[in-house]
Amino acid sequence: MSLLTTPAWLAAMSGRLPPTVALRADGVEAHAFVQHEPLPREFFDLQHVLTTTAPALPITREPIDSPPWVPALTVMVPGYECLPTGPRAGDPEALHGLVSAALAHDVPTVAFLYTRPGPLETVLHDRGFTRVPLSMTWDLHLPGTGITDYLAAFPRKRRKEIRREMRSVADVHREEPDLDELAALRCQLSRKYRGAADIAVERRKLAALAAMDSITLVARPDSGNAVGFAMFARHDGDWTCTAVGFDYTDARSRLAYFGTAYYAAAEHAYAERVRTIGYGQGSWQAKRSRGCTGTPLTGWVRTRDPLLAEALAVSAATTRREVL
């Protein structure tokens, strides 16, 4: 089971998606929701995901006129993956039943967003869903037993660059989170990429994440104010980066991102004998250049609306991943 399907994660992300409905078939289930109103800039809004150039989704596409994108049933969990669970989650017959349960809802459009390669994608293809490449999710698979092995995996020139970055990073400490301080940093990130932020909402979410089995790494130069942080949750022997935030008014925040999210994280992960750190989507250049490997994520949509079907065909024909 992925961290993203655990009760603790779903509770922490409560309210992040519209109210959910449970899809069930024999031995398999999935989280879904019905979207009734457009929600621009949200990465579960079909029009945004499939027709706009979004910085977090490294794809290109042609402009598409606005057909009726809602209502639509979307299958995914907070964290932007589609992850069926249950003892038959990899069984094509059971997955056909799950898709049938989705199509049985009284909405014209059904979408499975951010699927990984596997049997579900084969079933969706067989059931006539339109395939649109979306993005990549990134994982750092730690080699060997320590940070020296991590560095040794890079070419010589890149290894020297990383060592220079590590020396320049503001002091990073493992700390008990000061939720007010971290929420303020998180709001800066939210305003930069989403245009708005609510500090009370960010604080509640961080409190729920911190209550999980988690650690927080904080860049705090000279014991002063934090200029950045990264929070990680433990699950099944691996880590997942669940939240980051930075003070963009401080030039040191750029290196604080690398220091908290990658270099110090790798050192602490080695100490706990962690093999994999999951980072999710976005910032692909930073992730790949620090040793992460990507897994493609895909959107699958089927609709009874002819105008939307035409728009989906255009999106599928003109969209490509820039990272492979």
Which pLDDT tens digit goes with each residue over 129-151? 999 999 999 999 999 999 999 99
3-136+295-321 in CATH: which number? 3.40.630
DSSP annotation of 250: S
What was the pLDDT predicted at 314?
85
Structure tokens at 298: 């895909």
pTM for the whole thing?
0.91
* pLDDT one-digit tens code per residue, 229-247: 999 999 999 999 999 999 9
Same fold, 3-136+295-321 and 143-274: yes
Question: Nearest 5°: phi and psi at 130?
Answer: -85, 130
Give, in order, the Cα–Cα distances in Å from 93 to each of 1, 21, 96. 20, 22, 5
CA angle 254, 227, 248 (to 5 degrees): 55
Cis peptide before 221 (omega within 30 of 0): no
Q: What is the pLDDT of residues 168-206, one digit of tens each?
A: 887 999 999 999 999 999 999 888 877 888 999 999 999
pLDDT at residue 162, rounded to an integer: 94
> What average pLDDT does the segment 2-28 reach?
92
Confidence class for position 152, pLDDT limits 50, 70, 90: very high
Binned at pLDDT 50, 70 and 90, residue 258 comes out as very high
Q: What tens digit of pLDDT does each residue of 36-63 get?
A: 998 887 889 998 888 776 655 545 555 5
Q: Specify the CATH superfamily of domain 143-274.
A: Gcn5-related N-acetyltransferase (GNAT) (3.40.630.30)
Residue ranges per domain, the chain?
3-136+295-321, 143-274
User: How many other β-carbons are positioned within 10 Å of the β-carbon of residue 191?
Assistant: 12
Percent of the chain exceeding pLDDT 90 equals 72
Residue 81 pLDDT more than 70? yes
Beta pairing partners, 24:
29
Q: Is the dihedral of CA 215, 293, 202, 169 positive or negative?
A: positive
Strands, DSSP E only, in 56-176? 59-60, 72-75, 109-115, 130-141, 172-174
**Across residues 74-95, what is the average pLDDT?**
96
Mean pLDDT over residues 316-324, rounded? 73
pLDDT of residue 259: 94
